[in-house]
Every structure is written in structure tokens, then in C-alpha cells.
Amino acid sequence: MSISMEMVQKLRQSTGAGVLECKKALEESKGVIEEAIKILRTKGIAQAEKKSARTTSQGLVASYVHLGGQLGVLVEINCETDFVARTDDFKALAHDIAMQVAAVNPLYVKRQDVPAEILDKEREIAKAQVTGKPTNVMEKIVEGKLEKYYEQFCLLDQPFIKDDKIKISDHLKNTIAKLGENITVRRFARIKLGE
């Protein structure tokens, strides 16, 4: 099948990927736009994983104020260059993450930030709730309860409030794939009046 420039442009507008990547994805998908989007997304997420080790020393601090000034959030998002930090996509990501923090009130950025003593305490609570089960079953239940803890209190593990089919970490990876740079959430602060 012949891939027209119109098809390439249409795919490029919906994904933000380069012309050559769009053409290759369309050729691979035999001209089916939806399939080409999936191909580009898969490749982009794989590339995002490779970029995760790169240094992020630029970025911005985004703010979000909600409930008529009753709740405010500051979040620091880092990227590799100031050029990317000034893009609309990067600013939109920072705003989405600030809104997430306001709405869901995570305690940590990522699961590695949870102190060991908190995890030990959560394990003990979970074990106490499932006494009398075989050891292998009990361990699976305890690990499942820890996963639920991460989803509730770790920002990157939380379901995204605008699309609960993906996690914040997926939203972050999608933006990394689109912008072509490593992006990290460094820290956040949530302030609620009276707390």
C-alpha cells in the first residue's frame, strides 16, 4: 500500500512523532492509522525507558490552587533541557501532576521513597488480617495489600484522575516518548487551609 503525505501528516498531528517515524509506523501497520498510533506509542515507551537514566537538571515548579484558595499544590518537575521545560506539553504534564496531588493527596513520589519502617508496619497489619491461611497464599495477599498501599500513597503508582485506565507513571512515560527527553517528578508540597 502506498503511504500518502496526508496520512503521514494526520498521524503526525495526532501523535507529535517525527515524519520518518510516522511513515515507518504507517508502512508497518499497512496504512491503518489506529495501528500506527499503537506502534508509535509502544516504541516511544520503550525509548522512554532507555532515557530514564539521563540527568534532569532543568524543569519548572508548577502550582495549582483549588477550592477558592482552600487548597494549594506546588510540584517540581525536571527535564533535561530548558527548551523542553518551556513546551506546552511539559507545562500540561506539570499541571496534571499538580492537580493529581491536589485531588488524591499522595504522601510519596515513588514507592522507593516509602520508609522501610512504614512498609514493615503495613506488612504486619496485612499479616494480622489474613491469619490462618497457608504461607504461600498469605504472602501473595500481603504483597497485594502492599500494592494497594502504593497505589493509594505513591504518586507515580496512582491511577491518573483524568484517565483511570493509566497510572501517573504511564502518563509520564507517554510525555517522555512525545518530547524525547527524560522527565522526573522531584517533589511536591500540598497545603490545605487548617491542616
Based on the domain organization, do 170 and 97 belong to the same domain? yes
Spatial strand order in the sheet of 58-66: 58-66, 71-79, 183-192
Instruction: Count how many domains the chain has.
Output: 3
Based on the domain organization, do 148 and 164 belong to the same domain? no
pLDDT at 126: 86
**Which residue's entry shows cell 499503537?**
38
* Single residue among 51, 73, 89 that ends a domain in this structure: 51
Based on the domain organization, do 138 and 62 belong to the same domain? no
Based on the domain organization, do 101 and 183 belong to the same domain? yes
Based on the domain organization, do 12 and 37 belong to the same domain? yes
Using the predicted structure, report yes or no on whether residue 113 has a pLDDT greater than 90: yes
106: left (phi over 0), alpha (psi -120 to 50) or beta: beta
Query: Which residues span the domain enclosing 68?
Result: 58-110+154-192
Based on the domain organization, do 26 and 106 belong to the same domain? no
C-alpha angle with apex 189: 65 to 50, nearest 5 degrees? Answer: 110
Residue 97, C-beta contacts closer than 8 angstroms, at least 6 positions apart: 62, 75, 77, 155, 168, 185, 188
Q: How far apart are CA 84 and CA 76, in angstroms?
A: 14
Q: In the chain, what percentage of residues exceed pLDDT 70? A: 91
CATH code for the domain in which residue 69 is found: 3.30.479.20
pLDDT at 3: 83
For the four alpha carbons of 48, 162, 87 and 37, in that order, the dihedral sign comes to positive
Based on the domain organization, do 76 and 103 belong to the same domain? yes
Based on the domain organization, do 62 and 91 belong to the same domain? yes
Based on the domain organization, do 148 and 121 belong to the same domain? yes
Closest residue by Cα to residue 24 from 50, 42, 48? 42
Based on the domain organization, do 11 and 63 belong to the same domain? no
72-92 tens-digit pLDDT: 999 999 998 889 999 999 999
Based on the domain organization, do 145 and 166 belong to the same domain? no
175 burial (CB, 10 Å; 0-12 / 13-18 / 19+) is: buried
Based on the domain organization, do 160 and 187 belong to the same domain? yes
pLDDT at 15: 67
Closest residue by Cα to residue 98 from 195, 193, 185? 185
142-163 tens-digit pLDDT: 888 999 999 999 999 999 999 9
Residue 96, C-alpha cell as written in the block: 496534571
